[in-house]
């Protein structure tokens, strides 16, 4: 699978990053993987060197700028080093498996649509995640008219035609992914949804999502009036 590049934004990562990269290397050895360190600091240097030794491209932000900034840095790198390649973005905290990342890569290749890896919110799911997704899913449908089962998933695939457009979407932190989804819906970009297993390890303790501040940021793109001009998307599957 060489038609897509995997982008992993990380902040103070743990061993699960190494495990995920090793899984990807085993399952798809010729697939490019880009790890973007969002200003983790010196304590993460040794672990990031291990990831680099596994053959990943390593990009570093000078300070903690936010997940949106890390994703944009990954997209800029793909445009320079792997032009014409699709992009699959995933979290590296244990929620996403290599097999699911590769499934999304195949789906974006076949459909030329944005592909969301949507989680099932049943079973052993932290209450804050269950409630948060229900609220944002409802607001998203009210705002855009598009039904998305999981608006907050970090597992997403984008056709290469949209990679440069992703850099034009405002947002530097957790609000960025919601802003992308809102802009895509309003541009009538096709959005595919693939169900993936839900994995919350240690009650999602590794998440850096701030319940209050980041929730406010996440909802902000949903409050922008629909008539507000936004960047036009060159939707490949339109």
Burial of 93 (0-12, 13-18, 19+ CB in 10 A): buried
For residue 33, the cross-strand partners are 6
DSSP per-residue codes, 127-184? HHHHHHHHHHHHHHHHHHS---S-TT-S-EEE-GGGHHHHTTS--SSTHHHHHHHHHH
What is the CA 151 to chain-centroid distance, rounded?
11
Task: Indicate the pLDDT class of residue 212, thresholds 50, 70 and 90.
Answer: very low
- DSSP code, position 228: S
> What is the distance between the alpha carbons of residues 197 and 64, in angstroms, rounded to a whole number?
30
- Alpha-carbon span 19 to 15, nearest angstrom: 6
Distance, CA of 29 to CA of 132 (rounded, Å): 36
Half-sphere exposure of 184 (CA within 13 A, CB side): 32
What CA–CA distance (Å, rounded) separates 52 from 194? 30
The pLDDT value recorded for residue 156 is: 98
Q: How far is CA 96 from CA 17, 41, 120, in A?
A: 10, 24, 13
pLDDT digits (tens, 9 = 90+) for 127-137: 566 666 778 88
Tens digits of per-residue pLDDT, 36-83? 999 999 889 999 999 999 999 999 999 999 999 999 999 999 999 999
Question: Beta strand pairing status for 114-119 and 156-158?
Answer: antiparallel
Q: What average pLDDT does the segment 79-94 reach? A: 96
End-to-end CA distance of the chain: 24
According to the model, what pLDDT value does residue 7 have?
98
* Whether pLDDT at 206 is above 50: no
**Residues in CB range of 225: below 8 A, 6 or more apart:** none
């Amino acid at each position: 699978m060489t038609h897509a590049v995997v982008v992993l934004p990380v902040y103070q990562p743990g061993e699960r990053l190494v495990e995920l990269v090793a899984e990807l290397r085993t399952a798809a050895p010729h697939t490019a993987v880009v790890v973007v360190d969002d200003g983790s600091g010196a304590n993460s240097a040794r672990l990031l060197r291990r990831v680099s030794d596994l053959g990943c491209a390593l990009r570093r932000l000078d300070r903690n700028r936010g997940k949106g900034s890390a994703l944009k840095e990954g997209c800029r790198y793909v445009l320079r080093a792997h032009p014409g390649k699709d992009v699959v973005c995933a979290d590296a905290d244990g929620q996403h498996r290599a097999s699911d990342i590769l499934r999304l890569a195949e789906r974006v290749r076949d459909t030329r649509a944005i592909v969301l890896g949507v989680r099932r919110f049943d079973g052993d799911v932290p209450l804050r995640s269950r409630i948060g997704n229900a609220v944002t899913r409802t607001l998203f449908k009210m705002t855009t008219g598009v039904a998305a089962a999981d608006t907050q998933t970090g597992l997403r695939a984008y056709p290469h035609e949209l990679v440069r457009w992703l850099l034009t979407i405002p947002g530097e932190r957790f609000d960025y992914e919601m802003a992308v989804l809102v802009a895509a819906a309003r541009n009538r970009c096709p959005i595919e949804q693939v169900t993936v297993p839900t994995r919350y390890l240690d009650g999602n303790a590794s998440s850096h999502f701030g319940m209050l501040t980041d929730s406010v940021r996440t909802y902000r793109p949903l409050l922008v009036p629909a008539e507000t001009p936004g960047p036009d998307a060159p939707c490949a599957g339109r």
